[in-house]
Structure 1
Amino acid sequence: MPKLDLAKAPVKTGSLYPAPYAGQMAGRSSIRLGDLAGLTQFGVNIVTLEPGAVASLRHWHLNEDEFGMVLEGELILVEDEGETVMRPGDCAAWKAGVANGHRFVNRSDAPTRFLIVGSKATEEVATYSDVDMKLHIAGDKARFTYQDGSDWAGPRDLAPKGERNG
């Protein structure tokens, strides 16, 4: 395959998440390099986060490995163990099936960029650590449930764990 032309890569904004979580992803966009190349076994994206934006809800994958590398700016990696400052060249990886909810947050006053690479399992479950929700993927179909497996009908509690009053 010839050199990829980044200007021709699809750009994704918005989120697959249902409301109100989709709205929390404002300020995030991703250049879909894997899609541009026609890759089917893993995804490769360059994600841009505007100041104050988050990359995702804190989550972990049952069947997919994930790798992230900061390209530009300063990000905060939020995991079960706490927070880590990440700068250009810093990398993190998450093995499939390890319950360590993670996400990147841009708390700086400048846009940031990071590379994210993940496997594309034909069946996947993403568990969200701070909200009562799971994502189930089978082929090209996505379905949300509560943690107990019942059909998702909206948030039961909007305040993420650790941020509830009282």
Structure 2
Amino acid sequence: MPNEHGVVHEDEAEQMERSHGEKFAGTGLRLGATAGSEELGCTLYEVPPERSPVPYHYHTANEEAIYVLDGTGRLRTETEEIDISEGSYVALPAGEDGAHQVINSSDEPLRFLCVSTMNEPDVMVYPDSNKVGMVAGAAPGGPRKKVTLQKMFHADSDVDYWEGE
């Protein structure tokens, strides 16, 4: 629990576990949400070797930044893969130009902070799987109890505006 000044230790942060198949795994500590932050999100990720915490994606409403604390990895962007290591800082604007994925390319854990604006609603686009996600009520990574709508669907699905009326 944060103190009256919003100070929280990583040992006290709400933890998220991610694991899916051979590609995706990691632990995320929701520092911003646990400390009571309202307009900035901050998650401390620890990613095992040869894994990524999330698929390649971008946000339409939120800017993100990554700061590598320990380890080495690769940052996948729309046009290339870039080596990142301790001390690397990455700015990821909202929109297609900010598409990214962090991949641990080493034999050791990769630890990094991901900081983001907390605008909502937000739409997340996942080009590799042709999926779109949306969240309203709270930004992605925000307080789950405030989420009023959260959906994931294939980008090529289409329903007529008047269908069902």
- Structure 2: which 5+ residue stretches go unaligned? 138-146, 160-165
Cα distance, 1:26 vs. partner?
4.3
SS at structure 1 position matched to 2:62: coil
Among residues 2, 7, 10, which one is paired with 1:6 in the alignment? Answer: 10
Amino acid at match of 2:57: H
Cα distance, 1:83 vs. partner?
0.5
CA distance in 2, matches of 1:94, 1:27: 21
Among residues 29, 42, 46, which one is paired with 1:31 in the alignment? Answer: 29
Cα distance, 1:70 vs. partner?
0.6
Cα distance, 1:35 vs. partner?
1.5
Contact residue 92 and residue 99 of structure 2 kept, 8 A = no
Cα distance, 1:149 vs. partner?
4.8
Amino acid at match of 2:91: A
Contact residue 6 and residue 36 of structure 2 kept, 8 A = no
Count of residue pairs the alignment pairs up: 145
Contact residue 28 and residue 43 of structure 2 kept, 8 A = yes
Q: For residue 140 of structure 2, what is the aligned residue in structure 1?
A: none
SS at structure 2 position matched to 1:56: coil
Cα distance, 1:2 vs. partner?
5.7
Among residues 135, 140, 150, which one is paired with 1:142 in the alignment? Answer: 150
Contact residue 56 and residue 103 of structure 1 kept, 8 A = yes
Alignment of 1:80-119 (within 5 A): 80-119=78-117
CA distance in 2, matches of 1:93, 1:2: 25
CA distance in 2, matches of 1:62, 1:28: 24
CA distance in 1, matches of 2:24, 2:88: 24
CA distance in 2, matches of 1:61, 1:2: 27
Cα distance, 1:4 vs. partner?
2.0
SS at structure 2 position matched to 1:14: strand
SS at structure 1 position matched to 2:119: coil
Under a length normalisation based on structure 1, what TM-score does the superposition of the two structures give?
A: 0.80
CA distance in 1, matches of 2:157, 2:97: 17
Cα distance, 1:128 vs. partner?
0.6
SS at structure 1 position matched to 2:65: strand
